[in-house]
Amino acid sequence: MATTADYTEKIPNNVDLHEDRRLQRALESWQPNFLNWWESMGPTLPTQDVYLRTAVNVGREGWANFGHVAMKDYRWGIFLAERDGDRRIGFGQHKGEPAWQKVPGEYRADLQRLIVIQGDTEPASVEQQRNLGATAPSLYDLRNLFQVNVEEGRHLWAMVYLLHAYFGREGREEAEELLHRNSGSDESPRILGAFNEETPDWLSFFMFTYFTDRDGKYQLGTLKESGFDPLSRTCEFMLKEEAHHMMVGTTGIDRIVERTVQLMKEHDTDDVTAHGAISLDVLQKYLNFHYSVSLDLFGSETSSNVANYYTAGLKGRWMEGRRKDDHRLTDDAFMVDALVEGSISQAEVAALTGLNTDLRREYVSDCQSGVNRWNRILSEAGLPQRLYLPSVAFNRKVGAFAGIEATPRGEMLDASEWDGRKGAWLPTEVDKTHVRSLMRPVHERGKIAGWIAPPRNGINGRSFDYEYVRL
């Protein structure tokens, strides 16, 4: 049975919040702090209202409403996927036992940490993207930006609900901290590196939603497997919203490639800079950057923490249920990327300690599907150029390759050679300045900036020239 959300309450929810007055009061006192954070760290472009999707239900059909809403009145709510009363833990030493409805004491600290790290990324991306409204290439894109922003806000609510409902005073303190850390802050930065990088332009935004948000999808996929049932159900519903964020990134880059290809053919040149667009080599550099910092989010190739999380039943593998093994992995081995005798290679480790690499490989093959898609646009246009994912050793700050430099093709370099050549592989000041110079707002209905093609489809069956945002 789908549980319909209660919208008569201050905090829309499908968790019967009114039955737990203490919890309800605690969350209602966090709510104004959240709204203050949204006002001071959220989108800076003033708007009247935006055509937004709001989650209202978790059932298979009709889980969301679309309508014009003033963003500050958006109904951020708490939604968990339907409960399966028979659900059992699918992996680790508790495999086969009923899923936990409460936090097991021995795993309390670890679970809290996992939730805080996930929770920290959600408001971070809103902060990173807060100035993008001022340079949106169309009202359609502006609306999508705001949709992603409000849903990341809702994901923060999702994690804060778990902290408040299951982790007592410490959980409430962590919920406060989630509003106090800020992306890029010197005193209290966000926990993970990629979430302290700027998102200064729309090319970065699309690369971020393609590569960095996709890391989020994979992390949520592992938490969806968790033996802690409320976490599992929360993540299951978040993944539903996440699909739109993936779409924004994938089609955003599609449309940039399309426009670039169009101008390359029209002017018979590879360098479309003078024609107000983004050349393929600059696209490749942005891709290299966002992909490599997103790989860092998966942590080290080997990790005993992650092995422990798996054994304890806290965090599973991507698509755990579809894996054809014993789901305990105590006797298995796994090949991970490694530096072997000074060269980029692989090494065999215990499968449990290699789980970060396992997840990263799933992610990499998903990333490749986007690259294939963009390359199809190039090949269909009869162009020989291709985009590609750089080597896992390229531009890494975390893990086995953090201490070396490598080309995107995976050849090792010494530090001085890297300094001399990195401008060919990562965005230079000249590239960034050019990209930023293209970022002039187009806020007129049905119009689009010159560096990107219009989308094939609008939102929720509306046309591209629909009034998605009223300024």
Q: Which residues bind Fe ion (CB under 5 A)?
A: 122, 152, 155, 213, 242, 245
- Whichever of 243 and 415 has its CB closer to Fe ion, that residue is 243
Report the nearest approach of Fe ion to the CB of residue 217 (Å). 8
Minimal distance in Å, beta carbon 28 to Fe ion?
Answer: 23
Task: Give, to the nearest 10 degrees, the angle between helix 21-41 and helix 108-128.
Answer: 30
Please say which residue, 156 or 282, places its beta carbon nearer to Fe ion.
Answer: 156
Report the alpha-carbon distance of residue 212 to residue 313 in Å, rounded.
Answer: 26
CB of 237 to Fe ion, least distance (A): 11
Pairing of strands 469-470, 412-413: unpaired
Question: Maximum CA pair distance of the chain?
Answer: 68
Q: Where are the alpha helices (DSSP H) in 137-184?
A: 139-166, 168-180
Least Å distance, CB 125 to Fe ion, is 7
Among residues 77 and 92, whose Cβ is nearest to Fe ion?
Answer: 77
Q: Assign 330 to helix, strand or coil.
A: coil
Identify which of residues 236 and 242 has a Cβ nearer to Fe ion in the complex: 242
- In the structure encoding, which two tokens stand for residue 369, read together? 């599907």
C-alpha to C-alpha distance for 125 and 147, rounded to whole angstroms:
12
For the chain, the residue count is 471
Nearer to Fe ion, 145 or 377 (CB): 145
In the complex, least distance from residue 158 CB atom to Fe ion, rounded to whole angstroms: 8
CB of 205 to Fe ion, least distance (A): 12
The sheet with strand 64-69 has its strands ordered as: 64-69, 49-55, 469-470
Q: Which residue, among 197, 151, 185, 176, has the nearest Cα to 50 in the 3D structure?
A: 151
In angstroms, what is the minimal distance from the CB of 245 to Fe ion?
4
> CA–CA separation, 260 vs 283, rounded Å?
10
Kindly write down the DSSP assignment for every residue of 29-67, as one continuous string: HHHHHHHHHHHHHS--S--SEEEEEEE-B-SSS--EEEE
CB distance 324 to 389 below 8 Å: no
State which amino acid sits at residue 426: L
Q: Which is nearer to Fe ion, 213 or 229 (CB)?
A: 213
Distance CA(340)–CA(321), nearest Å, equals: 33
CB of 118: closest distance to Fe ion in angstroms?
A: 8
- Choice between 152 and 174, CB closer to Fe ion: 152
Closer residue to Fe ion, CB minimum distance, 153 or 408: 153
Identity (one letter) of the amino acid at 436? R
Question: Which of 146/334 has CB closer to Fe ion?
Answer: 146
Please identify, using beta-carbon distances, which residue of 197 and 405 lies nearer to Fe ion. 197
Question: 């080290």: which residue's tokens?
Answer: 300
156 versus 387: smaller Cβ distance to Fe ion: 156
Which has the closest alpha carbon to 293: 355, 227, 214?
214
How near is the Cβ of 160 to Fe ion at its closest, in Å? 13
| Cα 68 versus chain centre, distance | 25
Q: What tokens appear for 57 in the block?
A: 């239900």
DSSP β-ladder status, 64-69 and 49-55: antiparallel
Rounded to a whole number of angstroms, the minimum distance from the CB of residue 151 to Fe ion is 6
Q: Which is nearer to Fe ion, 247 or 426 (CB)?
A: 247
With tokens 């709204």, the residue in question is 35
Smallest separation, CB 80 to Fe ion (Å) = 15
Which are the contacts of 96, defined by CB distance < 8 A and separation ≥ 6? 88, 89
Separation between Cα atoms, residue 351 and residue 357, nearest integer Å: 10
Phi and psi angles of residue 144, each rounded to the nearest 5 degrees, phi first: -65, -40
